[in-house]
Each structure stands twice: as C-alpha cells, then as structure tokens.
Structure 1
C-alpha cells in the first residue's frame, strides 16, 4: 500500500530546483568531492545527526576519534560516535532495498548502547516532549508488516527517488521500528536512498542543515502526523536538500589534486579508451602540460594503460 502524500506545486518546484543544482554539481565535478572535503563532510554529518539526539562531541573531537586519538568525553557519547563512524564506512555494503541491511546498520549503530541492537522492537513506544506524548507509534506486532510494506513502496513505486527518500524518512519515523536510534537511522537511510539518485549525496552533510532547523524538522514531522500525510515533511526535506546542494556549489573553490582528477575522470569515462584531449575537455581549467603530468603519473602508478605514441596516444583504466 502506497503511503499517503500529495505531489504539491511546492514539491514539483523543489524537485526541479534540485535537479538543476545536481546538473551544476556534475558540471563542476563535485559529484564525488575531493578527499578532504568528503572527510570533512562525513564528520559534519556524524556530529550533526548525533547532536540532534543529544550527543555533545564536537567536530574536532570526532576528528580525533577518527584518527585514533584519545578524548575526554562521556563513554556513551564516544560509543555513539565510534558506531556512527563504523556504519557510515559500511555504506557501500548496505542494500538500501533490504530490511536485512537496515537491521545490520542498526546493529552497528546501536552496538553497546541498547540490548536489542539490530532487532525490531517488541514493545509499545511513544515520543514524549516535556510531559506530553507527541506521537504514539503503531503496536509492535504490526512493525514487521509496516516495514516490509514501506520497503516494497521504496522498491516498486514509480515516483522519483528524491520524493521517495523523504516519504521513507517520514514513514520510518512514524513506524518507529526500533526501541531507540530511529532518528539517526531514518536520516542515514534517506542518505542511502539519495545516494542511489546521485553520488554527491553520500558526502553531502544534509544533517547539519536539519540540526540548524531542528524545530522546523520536528514541526514538519508533527504537522504530517496531524494531517495524516507526509506532504509537509517532503516539502521541508526537499528544501533542506536544495539548500545543502547550494552550499556545496557556493563553497566549491576547492582545488583537486592530480589523483582526485584521475578518480573523478574515471567516474566519467569508465572503461572506454580516451585521449589527452578527452581529459582536457572534462578539466577545462588545467593546462595541457598539467594533463600530461596527470596521465603520466597514473600510468607510472599502474592506474592507466597507455597505447600508441605522440598524437595517437590513448589511455584506458585497468
């Protein structure tokens, strides 16, 4: 059964704006940002998503943990961060369309934090704000079926992945399938879905904008609950995605290393044979000698295979 929502004019407008920005990202070769930016954005993602849940560690402390340095902080906060680092490093192994992968991700994310990490809840749960219950999740015995239906929607519905990622996020929070960790899991799984739409989303710190707009985030969830449709939440999340892409484009004065140019070009060309001119057509801001040095170093390092000579020289990736 398809979750209830409407494709509003606001949603259509935001989808168009996001598609346009993804085109700009691709033209600027930012679909896989340079290594340092990827690392920085991953740290920002982890810090923001966990701060929403009450974690107190800063980006610099998370960086230290990534570099295996000791920090002074509560054990719970340190475990949360180490678990998040572990699960984000496993994104390539997770199948976004499989409940089994969802359970495995939750097991890693909540290891040593709750007893039932990686298992669906077997008790009733509600979300409490102050002294009020703001959301009563569906009964535990319905969770497996509701989750399976949600994954079938994700797999089979013909709506755009952009929209389905937002719907999934909302419905996941509504179902509240785990005893704890639902917020961070919902945000993680939306990232995975968006990654299928465009590679740039793997390292786009959407969570940092959600953290900045935390009141609006919970407001959009609550409004969707009250009307029985996820439309307000879809609109909110698409706005966040659009703004995150805009931030990336505005801060794109990043210089690629020769290795990063070669990695980026491989994403463009795949297994096809190419010339230095083909390389220069992609990287219009570098000189011919720089292109030659990039290609020679890649050949010397065993990344490229060189054929022919002088003007007839061609290359291909091993």
Structure 2
C-alpha cells in the first residue's frame, strides 16, 4: 500500500470509537425491531435535507419531502434538482463499493447530474476555498488529482483501520484533495455514510448530517484545524463526536420509532410548557398552509403521543388547545440538557 493518510490515533479517538461501538449495539437492536420502511425513508429525507442545507440549499424539509414524493414545489430549479439527485444517490448506496473509483465517479455523476459540467469526472482546473475574500485552502493541482485519488482509494480498500476512523479520514481527504469542480462536501458525507453502512447496514439510515448541520460552524472549523495541522486528527475527533451524538439522540427513548421528525420537534418546542390552539401553533411555527400543518406537524405529534388535546372528547371544540404529554416533556427536557 503506497499511501498512508496523515493522522494520529489519540486516546480521545480510541475512547470515542469505544463509546460508539458500545452505543451502536443498543441502536442496532432497537432499529432491527422498529426501523420501519416509513421511518427509514423519513430519516433518509432528513439526511438529504441536512446535507444540502450545509451547501446552502434553502428548501425546507417539507419542500424536500414534496420533491421526493414527486409533488409540485415552488423553488429554485437548481435546488429542486439537487434534491432529486441526492435522493437517487442515497438510494443507490448499497450497490457501490467504497474502494472503487468507478463507483465513486458514478456516484458523483448521479449526485451532480444537470448541476455542473463534467459531472462524474475529476476537475480539470485549479480550485481554492474562500471565506469571503480570504483563501483558506488551495487544493492540489488538477493534474495530481487522479493519482491522489487512486492512492486514497487503494488505502481505503486495503486498510485495516476501524471503519469509524476510515470513514472520517476518507471524508477529510476528499475535502482536502477537492477532486471535483463541485459537490466535494456532499461526496465526502455520502461516502462516509457508505463506509459506515458497510460496517453496520442500519447506519445508512442514521441522519448524522442533521447533527453536522446544527454544528456547521464547528464542522468547518474542524476541517480548517486539520488543514493547519496537516493531518486529519482534529476532523476525526469532530466527526466521531457528531456520530456519537446522532446515535445517542436516536436511542434517547425506548424505541427507535420514537425518533422525532424536524417538524414534530419544532412543534414540541413551540408548545413548550404552554397550551396553544392550532392557530397559535401555526403562527409560532411561521406556517400559513393548514393542511401542511396538520399532515406534517399536528397529526404525527398526536399519533406519536408527543402532544395531547386539552379537550380529548371534543376534537373540534373551538376551545381546543394542545399541550405536551409526559413523553413530550421528557423529550424537551432531554434536548434542553444537551
């Protein structure tokens, strides 16, 4: 094996791998029992929404869901195409070999089809990463990209490193080499998911990207720290921490089916310790379309026993209000403590 990416296995990394390995056991048991096709699809949609949001796609989760369901959506055509492409790419995940250059290029072609010239090909020009007007990373010259990627893919195919670490290293190296004209961040996250999926298949449906999106500034800081240090160690620590957080969040309740969609989470937070009417809730959430509110927010929250009616015997009562159940209050308290 010719190439060895630069990183150091620190005690912090070893501890994170041990914690994740311990926690993943409980997640796997619960997921095998309760991760229904519907929930798998919902988690995949959340993953796609979060990964694209990191790249400044402005479509809401509801709009992303609608696009995937083939519905008409008012939005920028490029952003709609990004969603369609990402869903196709994640659906094709299990057919790819993480160490195959052909599969890597096929994935990029699927992910970036109709968005950039040369989708599925390595870049032919130089590229730099800027923050405002400041150059923060100059990627290697284009003529070195095929060799660098061949070395990296050979390392991935041959390494005996734990998949948790290998996935983080590959993700960082993709960001450093920047082999494509566009879509490098998306490809890094997609390929790390593939590596994790090869280790534990159910991790393909763990929406780690939602945690990264919530800590997006730290994500870029970890990349910058790894660049400055000239090895992937800071990024490995960051990504393992985010993965652990995502697994803990998924297993915070007794059933994986108790995972909360972003819409239901917003509803729970909107109610808080109060009692609100549906009109008050829509105003709090900034929603104007009542059917969307009922279908994506209110009904799932009621069905999941996260909220309850103050007038349970008269669902259509003009005095009807909604408040958190004990389960909803526990969820709110747990997330407030994180």
TM-score by length of structure 1 reads: 0.78
The 2-side partners of 1:31 and 1:171 are apart by 36
In structure 2, the CA distance between the partners of 1:62 and 1:38, relative to structure 1 (3 Å rule), is same
Match of 1:38 in 2: 40
The correspondence for 1:144, drawn from 133, 143, 146, is 146
Match of 1:84 in 2: 86
Q: Is the 8 A contact 1:32 1:199 kept in 2?
A: no
The 1-side partners of 2:87 and 2:254 are apart by 25
Tell me the C-alpha RMSD between the 2 structures: 1.4
Task: Give the aligned length.
Answer: 256
Gaps spanning 5+ residues in structure 2: where?
A: 259-338
The 1-side partners of 2:190 and 2:82 are apart by 14
Q: Cα deviation per residue 1:209-237 (whole Å; 9 max; x = unaligned)?
A: 11011110000000000011100000000
CA deviation after TM superposition for structure 1 residue 28, in Å: 2.4
Q: Is the 8 A contact 2:35 2:257 kept in 1?
A: no
Q: Secondary structure at the match of 1:6?
A: coil
The 2-side partners of 1:254 and 1:29 are apart by 6
Residue 56, structure 1, aligned to residue 58, structure 2: yes
The correspondence for 2:105, drawn from 100, 103, 106, is 103
In structure 2, the CA distance between the partners of 1:84 and 1:29, relative to structure 1 (3 Å rule), is closer
The correspondence for 2:209, drawn from 198, 207, 216, is 207
Match of 1:232 in 2: 234
CA deviation after TM superposition for structure 1 residue 132, in Å: 0.4
The correspondence for 1:47, drawn from 42, 46, 49, is 49
Q: Is the 8 A contact 1:31 1:198 kept in 2?
A: no
The 1-side partners of 2:188 and 2:195 are apart by 11
Match of 1:154 in 2: 156
The correspondence for 1:167, drawn from 153, 166, 169, is 169
TM-score by length of structure 2 reads: 0.74
* TM superposition outliers: structure 1 runs of 4+ over 2 Å: 26-32, 251-256
Q: Is the 8 A contact 1:25 1:31 kept in 2?
A: no
In structure 2, the CA distance between the partners of 1:254 and 1:150, relative to structure 1 (3 Å rule), is closer
The 2-side partners of 1:58 and 1:154 are apart by 35
